[in-house]
Amino acid sequence: MYISDFNYHKPQSLKEACRILASSPDAALLAGGTDLLVEIKQGLRHHQDIVSINDIPELKLINIENNYLQIGAAVTHNEIANSKIIKGFCPAISESAAKIGSDQIRNVGTIGGNLCTGASCCDMGPILLALDAALEIFSTKGTRTVSLRDFFINHKETSLNNGEVLSKIIVSKTQSETGAYFEKFGLREAASISVASVAAVIESENGMCTNACIVIGAVAPTPRISNKANQILKGCKITELTENSPLLVKTGEAASDDSLPIDDIRSSTEYRRDLIKSLTQRAVLKALKNN
């Protein structure tokens, strides 16, 4: 178990980073390294070139511009968890980040890494999908913006092309009566991988749900929007959404229906489906409380 040697690059700008990426056959970007270095140590991957993006100032920014929250891709989980700006904008984003790994991991792991690894169990994906976040992607050809909903393709596969760097995550301000929450289920109280998770964003007006987005995590090749659940919620009365109320039970079942879980060492397919039912209920109720 060792980190095989590589050519180390530490560009000061996105442009330079992209240039290095383009000129190497197998370069990998290094942000926190909490996945990358572990996989290299385990012998699962090898790279001739490693490009550290931790010195690129624009990747470390957190700001709000014209009702858009922008988070640099190399912002760490703990920076997100503790950011007053983000907490003020949408606390569920901070709360999601706080649920990742241990403190040591959160101090180095980044939001960009969490998304770009493309793991189905990633903990930032669900809430950001539910909030319909967009990604700004940089390359030598310029920047492109893509909806997160088009980013995840399969487990560990994203629409990021060779030579591209995720630079920013952009979340638009939700309307006033919106609640959001990320419910995570791990096998240990802390520092564990999600067995299943659900993010819920509920928009309401005058006691009616005007829009909803339920995203299920770790139960499909990518975090997945449950359209069935969304349809049930949209247009319902908020008062109908109480613990084990018929409508909420139905919502949970719908989300579970939309899942495509696998059996693995953490859980069976069946259990993941069961989990989604109750986690959906909880996520919705907590989202409403977070309103």
Binding site for another protein (CB under 8 A): 1-8, 10, 23-25, 30, 33-34, 37-38, 41-42, 48, 50, 52, 54, 78, 101-105, 107-108, 185, 187-193, 265-268, 271, 274-275, 278-279, 281
- Residue among 62 and 208 whose Cβ is closer to another protein: 62
As measured in angstroms, the least distance from the Cβ of 150 to another protein is: 30
Q: What is the DSSP letter of 25?
A: S
Question: What counts of helices (H) and strands (E) characterise the chain?
Answer: 11, 14
As measured in angstroms, the least distance from the Cβ of 49 to another protein is: 9
As measured in angstroms, the least distance from the Cβ of 55 to another protein is: 9
Among 150, 67, 63, residue whose Cα is nearest residue 115? 150
As measured in angstroms, the least distance from the Cβ of 273 to another protein is: 11
- Residue among 24 and 120 whose Cβ is closer to another protein: 24
Quote the CA–CA distance of 131 and 212 in Å, as a whole number.
10
Q: How far is CA 1 from CA 4, 44, 46, 98, 105, in A?
A: 9, 11, 12, 30, 20
- Residue among 48 and 175 whose Cβ is closer to another protein: 48
- Residue among 192 and 245 whose Cβ is closer to another protein: 192
Quote the CA–CA distance of 270 and 287 in Å, as a whole number.
26
Quote the CA–CA distance of 256 and 229 in Å, as a whole number.
9
- Residue among 18 and 131 whose Cβ is closer to another protein: 18
